[in-house]
């Protein structure tokens, strides 16, 4: 998968996305400064959400349209999305600012009109949000554009994931990634199930990663260790500005810490390699080897009393110890001399 000029594969560094979401709080300047802050924090990408209240739902006060069981309890869906949406007339300027900062920028569309609009901006990729993974017609339309697609799995059962992937592939689009996501806000760490990151990749043959709503750096680190190649976190200048997503978004300092932790985790994972670095090889000086521990004369028999396996590691390898017991030496040796094959008949 290639996002802009960045290749994402099993060997590449983790691609880190800062999700702007509703964290502009209705201010274009806040949105622009959030993009700049995301760059400072080490993100590779800024992601938007492209919808209006009308493309997301309808203006209706019936009980079905009142949110229950979340941090937005009691709010009307239409009113929430009216507050949270990113005005479409901002998009071009936001994309240009991202480009100026050297960040990839793309978006999550929530209906076909959003896809058409984003196509005009020549987006390099699309994100399917967790709650849209069951919208097969939307996924097919997105897939038909031939761009890489990242799908979040926050509300998805296995059948939902398979239907979504089939929809993409049916449209000839195999440039796909799946993100493990827990659709709770904020999400508890004990529901993260990061072993799923590896399973998603192996089971479906795609790039996998994490769309994270937990607080802190623990889950992104664990995801990295399980092979995540994309990590997405909600990003905000300051939670004090408020907004629908503020409570589960990272500020610049926290995001910077997360990026640093992920990069350190990548470095710590390394590669399968049983060869030693020069420094590690030098450590062998402190391993054990066979040394004379009592003065010995020519013809003396090697015993457990006069030869031992001790530190340092400059003498004969300890694996030969049982083989040389009972043999005689052919030269006088003093306590502390290395034993080697030339000393032994």
Co-location of 226 and 282 in the same domain: no
Domain boundary among 269, 287, 322: 269
Tell me, rounded to whole angstroms, the distance of Cα 316 from its chain centroid: 46
Co-location of 200 and 315 in the same domain: no
pLDDT at 183 over 90: no
pLDDT in tens, 201-229: 999 999 999 999 998 999 999 999 999 99
pLDDT computed for residue 185 by the predictor: 78
Q: Quick one: what percent of the chain has pLDDT higher than 90?
A: 89
pLDDT in tens, 235-288: 999 999 988 889 889 999 999 999 999 999 999 998 889 998 888 899 999 999
- How does residue 106 score in pLDDT terms, banded at 50, 70 and 90? very high
Co-location of 141 and 54 in the same domain: yes
**DSSP reduced 3-state for 251:** coil
- How does residue 101 score in pLDDT terms, banded at 50, 70 and 90? very high
- Half-sphere exposure of 55 toward its Cβ, with a 13 Å CA cutoff? 19
Per DSSP bridges, beta strands 289-292 and 307-310 are antiparallel
Distant-in-sequence, close-in-space partners of 177: CB < 8 Å, separation ≥ 6:
1, 8, 148, 149, 150, 151, 206, 207, 208, 209, 229, 230
Q: Mean pLDDT over residues 122-140, rounded?
A: 97
- How does residue 193 score in pLDDT terms, banded at 50, 70 and 90? very high
Co-location of 224 and 300 in the same domain: no
H-only helix segments in the chain? 28-41, 53-56, 77-84, 91-101, 112-120, 136-143, 158-170, 195-204, 218-225, 252-269, 278-282, 321-324
Domain coverage including residue 339: 278-343
* Cα–Cα dist 159/155, whole Å: 11
pLDDT at 319 over 90: yes
Co-location of 183 and 284 in the same domain: no
Please give the torsion angle defined by the CA atoms of residues 235, 240, 244 and 246, in that order, rounded to the nearest 10 degrees. 30
pLDDT at 64 over 90: yes
Give domain status of residue 6, yes or no. Answer: no
Give the total number of structural domains in the chain: 2
The CATH number that applies at residue 198 is 3.20.20.70
Rg, C-alpha atoms of the chain: 30
């Amino acid at each position: 998968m290639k996002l802009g000029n960045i290749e994402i594969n099993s060997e590449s560094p983790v691609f880190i996305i800062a999700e702007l979401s509703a964290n502009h709080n209705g201010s274009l300047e806040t949105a622009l400064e959030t993009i700049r802050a995301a760059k400072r924090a080490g993100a590779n990408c800024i992601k938007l959400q492209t919808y209006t209240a009308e493309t997301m739902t309808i203006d209706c006060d019936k009980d079905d349209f009142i949110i229950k069981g979340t941090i937005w309890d009691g709010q009307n869906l239409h009113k929430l999305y009216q507050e949270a949406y990113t005005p479409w007339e901002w998009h071009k300027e936001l994309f240009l600012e991202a480009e100026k900062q050297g960040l990839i920028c793309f978006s999550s569309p929530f209906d076909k009109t959003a896809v058409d609009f984003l196509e005009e901006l020549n987006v390099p990729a699309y994100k399917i949000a967790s709650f849209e993974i069951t919208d097969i017609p939307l996924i097919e339309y997105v897939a038909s554009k031939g761009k890489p697609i990242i799908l979040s799995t926050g509300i998805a059962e296995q059948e939902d994931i398979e239907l979504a992937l089939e929809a993409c592939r049916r449209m000839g689009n195999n440039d796909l990634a799946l993100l493990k996501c827990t659709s709770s806000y904020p999400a508890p760490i004990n529901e993260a199930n990061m072993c799923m990151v590896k399973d998603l990749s192996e089971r479906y043959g795609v790039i996998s990663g994490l769309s994270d709503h937990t607080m802190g750096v623990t889950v992104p680190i664990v995801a990295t260790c399980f092979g995540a190649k994309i990590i997405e976190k909600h990003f905000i200048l300051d939670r004090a500005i408020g907004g629908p997503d503020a409570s589960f978004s990272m500020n610049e300092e926290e995001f910077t810490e997360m990026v640093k932790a992920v990069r350190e985790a990548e470095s710590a994972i390394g590669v399968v390699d049983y060869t030693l670095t020069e420094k590690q090889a030098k450590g062998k000086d402190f391993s054990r080897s066979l040394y004379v521990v009592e003065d010995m004369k020519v013809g003396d028999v090697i015993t457990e009393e006069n030869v031992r396996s001790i530190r340092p590691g400059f003498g004969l390898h300890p694996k030969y110890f049982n083989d040389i017991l009972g043999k005689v030496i052919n030269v006088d040796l003093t306590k502390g001399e290395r034993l080697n094959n030339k000393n032994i008949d």
